[in-house]
Structures are given as C-alpha cells and as structure tokens.
Amino acid sequence: MEMDIYVSSWKIKVGENKQKTIAGKYQIKMGGHVVSESEFNDGYNSTDITIPSEILAEAEKLDSKIKEAIVKNFTS
C-alpha cells in the first residue's frame, strides 16, 4: 500500500530569525489511516522544511485577503 503526505494545518509565523515562514502539521497516511503526524517549522522538535519564496508570497496574499474578510465582517 502507498503512503501519502498531507498537510493537516498551516499558518504564517515569524521564525527565530525574524523572517516570516510557514509552519504547521503534516500527516503520513496509508490507506486513509494516519500512520504518523509531525510538526514542521514550529519549535524545538519539529521538522525543518524550506519554504520557497514564491509560496511565501502567495501565502502573504492569502493572509491579506483573510484579514480583509475579517474586517468586513465587523464593519459591514
């Protein structure tokens, strides 16, 4: 049976180097069952994953759109 990797959650955070990065959790699944789960880019015991700058730029755009939706929710 084949194993697959799924990102179960992610967020934009400021890393220890004061740069924004993407952090979260990923799961290893086999046949729909979670075999393993681990955090990435978020703390001492997490997996370090290099996120390309193009993905970070897209995440920043999405972050701005989410903030805009939150503001509209309270001001409309």
pLDDT digits (tens, 9 = 90+) for 45-75: 999 999 999 999 999 999 999 999 999 999 9
- Between 16 and 60, residue with greater pLDDT: 60
Mean pLDDT across the stretch 29-33? Answer: 91
**CA-based radius of gyration for the chain:** 15
* H/E segment holding residue 26: strand 20-30
pTM over 0.95: no
**Segment (H or E) for 66:** helix 53-75
Look at residue 23 and tell me whether its pLDDT is greater than 90: yes
